[in-house]
Chains A and B, each alone.
Chain A
Amino acid sequence: MSPYAEAVLLQVGINVLLALGYWIAVSTGKYSFGHAAFMAIGAYAASMLTLNFAWPLPVAMLVAAVVAAVAGAVIGWMALRLSLLYLAIITFIFGQLVELLFAQWDYVGGATGMIGMTGTTLTLVYSSIAVVVVYLVLLTRSRLGLAYAAIREDERAATASGLRITRIAVGAFAASAAVTGVAGALAAHQLMIITPSLFGPQQALLIILYCVLGGVQYFWGAAVGAIVLSVLPIWFEWLNDWYMIVYGLLFVVLMIVRPQGLIGRSERSGGGPLLRRLRRDGAVAVEREREPVG
């Protein structure tokens, strides 16, 4: 395989991992706006271990997952008790806080970052994806997966059914952060150089866009979104120059036309307002017909 093809496959694989990780949080209906921070935490934790302590990368990846999961649990615990608006604000601020902390921490190179990490291979990336996919397949078929869906669809009904929604959502958030941390570790050891600004708001938005473009209903939708958005700039070179504008507008158009993403039934997510009204009126008509006469 040519080095170029390998680089592309590595990049696509890491992005798929990011999208899958983000999807875990989104499957409970909780959108984070600072997921790049977990990526940074994973990247820095793993790089510290491989560079300064000569740990093997797979072990460092596991540590990265644990550290990111702990950070995810703490942030989740702070934010998920509150409303979605607060979740958005807190994760957004958290992303900036992490970037700032790494930029001021001399041990990890401050704003100039760390350099010299290597070792990300196709085997490592794609076996991580395989592990996550197996986990997600089991998750979506388990009671826990059902609980995630219940929380996403209707929090009050889920609470009434006896689900401890905050605890479950925090768990999902931590798992999501762990996968994102692993992706960060892999990205760091592929890029060879990391700086705090690499994991800034643009990266955070990119992760969201991977997931939202594909559709939040099925996890493979998120993976498809990541693949499409990673490959497009390779095919269309001009996109590199314009991608901020194109991706920004993509968000705007997507949210108006299909906020649930390209893949997924519109029925469950409500469809357009008109469609919903038609359906509701239809349902009412059917009920009237069923009413007993006399």
Chain B
Amino acid sequence: MLGQQLFNGVLLGATFALVALGFNLVVGAMDRLNFALGETAMVSAVVGAVLMETGLPFAVAFLAAIATGGLLAVIVYVASFRYVSDRFPTASILSSLGMGLVLTAVVVKVFGSDQRSVPDVLAGVDLDLGLFRVSGAQLVIIVLAALMTVGLYVFLDRTVWGTAIRGVSDDPTMVALLGVPVQRVILLTFTLSGVLAGAAGLLTGLAYHSVSPFDGFTSTLTALMVIVLGGLGSVTGGVIAALVIGVLQTLTVAYLSATLRDLIVFVLVGIVLLVRPQGLFGRNAGVLERV
């Protein structure tokens, strides 16, 4: 029982981690928050769900979802970040919140405001690993989320463009002087964050078997709590914090009460903000500067 709950929590946390990583990438690149990222995830999930309903295989729907996510993130970048003066630190937040409103409203106009069910994948699969059982959908979620997280690590750590992203995050002026095309790196960062959000959207939809146009807001909220807990801009901290929150929520629902699920996370985040505002794992200099 406990093993199963822990696994479910990790599963939930893995989807949180993807959106939170998207947020942290943008914070690194521009010191700005993209508040439309949750809605980006929601739109991608709706697109994925619609494609799956028409009978297309999950792989196609997943690719379409991450493509949608990347594209939307670029649109949000152009609308809310590229041409917004950096003399007004909150302007991009307001603008991206506005984009979030627009995305939600457009989805409601086009697809209606009802919940949309997400078809199951690998319905016949049911692995029994002793401590816990894994359904086909859960297997897909955990494998894809892990692949994307590890892929992001390898990309940031080993490739030229990944190094450039980390460089821009540390000191944009310096890397610009070294000849790094900062604007293109930022564009790449936004695309990556959208891809992660798109994947998270569809995988979350798969976990709950449904997606609603108003999910975007919840994703943004969860991601914000994850990045406060893990430290603003800290990639590793974000992943660990996401898993902590996922497990905590699942255990609360299983052993205490479903109504306490969000409250416990709020309390945890409040304590962290009071005691350790740089986040549990925010030890690198870049994060400290942002507190």
Residues of A within 8 A of B (CB): 31, 33, 78-79, 81-86, 88-90, 92-93, 96-97, 100-101, 104, 201-202, 205, 208, 212, 242, 244-245, 247-252, 255-256, 259-260, 269-270, 272-273
Contact = CB atoms under 8 A, between A and B. Distances in A.
Contacts of B227: 89
A84 B89 contact: yes
Interface string B83-107: 1110111111111011111101110
Contact of A256 (B32, B83, B217): B83
Contacts of A31: 90, 93-94
Nearest to B102: A248
Contacts of B32: 85
Contact of A249 (B31, B33, B98): B98
B263 interface: yes
B159 to A, nearest CB: 28
Contacts of B85: 259, 270, 272-273
A86 B232 contact: yes
B80 A255 contact: yes
14 contacts: A78-B274, A85-B32, A86-B228, A92-B35, A92-B224, A244-B101, A247-B98, A249-B98, A251-B94, A255-B80, A255-B88, A256-B84, A259-B91, A269-B87
Q: Among A205, A250, A251, A255, which residue has the most Cβ atoms of chain B within 10 A?
A: A255
Interface stretch (B116-124, B132-140, B175-183, B265-273): B265-273
Contacts of A83: 290-291
Given A31-B90, A201-B217, A248-B102, 7 more contacts: A82-B273, A89-B227, A242-B105, A251-B99, A256-B83, A269-B88, A272-B85
A245 B105 contact: yes
Contacts of B35: 92
B232 A92 contact: no
B143 interface: no
Contact of A252 (B79, B228, B266): B79
B277 interface: yes
B247 interface: no
Interface residues of B, number: 48
B101 A78 contact: no
Given A89-B228, A205-B97, A249 B102 contact: yes
A48 to B, nearest CB: 21
Contacts, number: 122
B101 A205 contact: yes
Determine chain B's interface SS by DSSP, over half rule: helix
Contacts of A78: 270, 273-274
Nearest to B109: A245
A84 B86 CA distance: 13
A212 B109 CA distance: 27
Contacts of A272: 85
B221 interface: yes
B262 interface: yes
Contacts of B93: 31, 33, 88
A247 B269 CA distance: 31
Contacts of B98: 205, 247-252, 255
Interface string B20-34: 000000010001110
B266 A97 contact: yes
Contacts of B274: 78
Nearest to A243: B105
Contact of B95 (A101, A242, A244, A252): A252
Given A85-B31, A256-B84, A270-B87, A251 B104 contact: no
Contacts of A96: 221
A259 B266 contact: no
A83 B92 CA distance: 15
Nearest to A87: B90
Interface in B1-45: 27, 31-33, 35
A251 B90 contact: no
A88 B263 CA distance: 20
Given A33-B97, A100-B263, A252-B80, A89 B105 contact: no
Contacts of A273: 85
